[in-house]
A and B are shown apart, each in its own frame.
Chain A
Amino acid sequence: MTSRNLLREARLWLIGIPVLLWTLIPIYHIFLFSISTKESAFSGRLWPEHPTLRNFGIVFRQDHFYLHHFWNQIWNSLWIAVAVGVVTLVVATCAAFAISRLKVKGGRTVMNAALFTYFIPAAFLAVPMYKAMGTYGLLNSRWSLVLAMVTIASPYAIWVLKQASDKLPWELDEAARIDGATPLQLFRLVYLPLMLPSLVAIGTYALLLSWNEYLYAFLLLSHENTIPLAVGLGHFLASDDSPWEILMATALIYGLPPAAIYYAFRKYMVGGLTSGAVKS
């Protein structure tokens, strides 16, 4: 290894290690709390004297005042996240196909207008959104959060999918047209299979976005039985003496599904399927 490479490597490590620590320390902190007893949680040790899984048992048995609806709330989180993922995918895929492949007039303008909404902070839109959902009688329905999250996720999703579908060779569409494909057949038989990696990535993005959403969930849903777990976790902080070890155990459980989903679909986050379509 030359000294130049060594320097490069050293610099990468110098940046990489702090970033890694920066990310991992809070997670370790959560983990540490979740395996500690209430008494030792704030002891300041790097490993508890008597590690215990008792906290997880309490969570799973819903054996705490704040956790009476734990299973219900995690189900809400899951239901809403999957619904947001699916609806966003449907909306964004159709939009991207229309803009990028069918070259619908004004398509780009619509996409740019949608992207423009990101200039307005989501917090500003919360009140109008609340009013709109109230008008439609959707408050306290899981659908209100789904619709709100789809609204927030779609512009980005459309943009990403449009970029991805612009990269598909145009000759494929022409070949399919000559082969006799209608636009719908083109969409179903050529476009969707080739877009699969991007679709998985965008679906995962929308799903995780809504899984992690707090503000809109807190505003639009208020009943113990309809709120997702993110809001349920927030309730822990309502009292002066929060049960931190149980909060952290719940948080750790709450953090596992996104990690699992990301791990399962990691190859789609970078993958490409179009090799062999045209000579490159």
Chain B
Amino acid sequence: MLHGISLDISDGEFMVLVGPSGCGKSTLLRMLAGLEEISGGEIAIDGRVVNEVESKDRDIAMVFQSYALYPHLTVAENMGFSLRLRSEKKERIQSRVEQAAKILNLQAYLSRYPRELSGGQRQRVAMGRAIVRDPKVFLFDEPLSNLDAKLRVAMRAEIKALHQRLKTTTVYVTHDQVEAMTMADRIAVMNDGRVEQLGAPLELYDRPANLFVAQFIGSPAMNVFDGVFRSNAVHALGTTWPVAHSSASAGQAVKYGIRPEHLHIDGASGIPAEVVVVEPMGAEAELVVKVGELPFTVVTHGRSSAKPGDRIFLKPESANAHVFDAASGRRI
């Protein structure tokens, strides 16, 4: 299922594994947790190979998508469960739980049961259960997927703040590239059991290594179309698209990629296009335009005076144009 994955996560790093469903990111996380057998390779935590080490002895804590709180235990008992299993003293458990509750703003709920809490509170309890253990690594498995959009944004910030405060190495799995971009120190974009690219969020955004990463990272998605490379430009759709730097050879079949915010609208000259839809969002406007028959997304800052049916001209930023090999999809 997973092929040739080699990840080096440094101490205190916030690593996000992102990819479409079924890409193997959760499997990889579960392997780290010791919940999934591995047939080859090595997993080491803090220099110790843990392939044959049971989950409980790996010094990790995991937060599940479904929270997985013990329904018959109170919030305090849920958070202190791992310490209770290790036969810690009652006072010590209590002080650790209270400390974690304070960090997560859960003091008022310690004697409640999970069923009496809201989704966000349950998620915080699940994190509290992880914090209490003071593990070497936090593993998050799509922890925000079950929350509504507004809460998700709030919890995102909370988790990031928590990481900045505790500085515990974190591996975070999500299918949401926005979550990945906003939270990660480094992102591993996964597809089909492989790591497509590993790097800092903006690095992935600015220099995607291949078509998959280019189209997965960024919202709205990059515009991509077929063309032929010739003397610092790509010829496609009956016109030329400038490229500042590319190692493509003349006459090579390529795919040209340009992000929506790197297409500027010009009233007089450039690539002719027709406006189809205008979506004003206040700070920016998203336009769907057609060049020939191909739809493009364009994002403009501020407001747009364009109306559907208008003829406009597009000016691509040549420095931010991406060229990929048409066959392999690799950046060239």
Interface residues, chain A, with chain B CB atoms under 8 Å away: 169, 171-172, 174-181, 185, 189-190, 193-194, 273-279
Contact = CB atoms under 8 A, between A and B. Distances in A.
B114 A277 contact: yes
Given A174-B35, A175-B129, 9 more contacts: A177-B34, A178-B61, A179-B129, A179-B133, A194-B72, A275-B115, A276-B71, A276-B113, A276-B115
Contacts of A189: 81, 85
Contact of B146 (A273, A277, A279): A279
B68 A180 contact: no
Given A175-B64, A277-B114, A180 B71 contact: no
Given A169-B66, A278-B66, A279-B66, A273 B71 contact: yes
14 contacts: A171-B64, A172-B68, A174-B64, A176-B70, A178-B34, A178-B55, A185-B85, A189-B85, A273-B71, A273-B72, A274-B71, A276-B114, A276-B116, A277-B66
A177 B146 contact: no
A177 B113 CA distance: 21
Interface of B: 33-35, 54-56, 60-62, 64, 66-72, 81-82, 85-86, 113-117, 119, 122, 129, 133, 146
The 5 A-B residue pairs whose C-beta atoms are closest, nearest first, are A276-B115, A171-B68, A278-B66, A180-B56, A179-B82
Grouping DSSP codes into helix (H, G, I), strand (E, B) and loop, the A interface class, with mixed when no group exceeds half, is: helix
A179 B81 contact: yes
A194 B71 contact: yes
A80 to B, nearest CB: 32
Contacts, number: 82
Contacts of A277: 66-71, 114
Nearest to B61: A178
Contact of B56 (A181, A274, A275): A181
B116 A181 contact: no
Contact of A174 (B61, B68, B114): B68
Given A276-B115, A276-B116, A279-B146, A180 B86 contact: yes
Nearest to B60: A178
A178 B67 contact: no
B56 A179 contact: yes
Contacts of B133: 179
Contact of B119 (A171, A190, A194, A279): A279
A178 B33 contact: yes
A122 to B, nearest CB: 37
A181 B71 contact: no
Nearest to A168: B71
Contact of B70 (A177, A185, A190, A275): A190
A40 to B, nearest CB: 56
Contact of B62 (A169, A175, A275, A279): A175
Contacts of B56: 177-181
B35 A193 contact: no
A279 B119 CA distance: 8
A278 B68 contact: yes
A190 to B, nearest CB: 6
B85 A178 contact: no
A54 to B, nearest CB: 51
A172 B85 CA distance: 15
Identify the interface centre among B61, B62, B70: most chain A CB within 10 Å of its CB. Answer: B70
A227 to B, nearest CB: 42
Contacts of A176: 70, 81
Contacts of B69: 175, 276-277
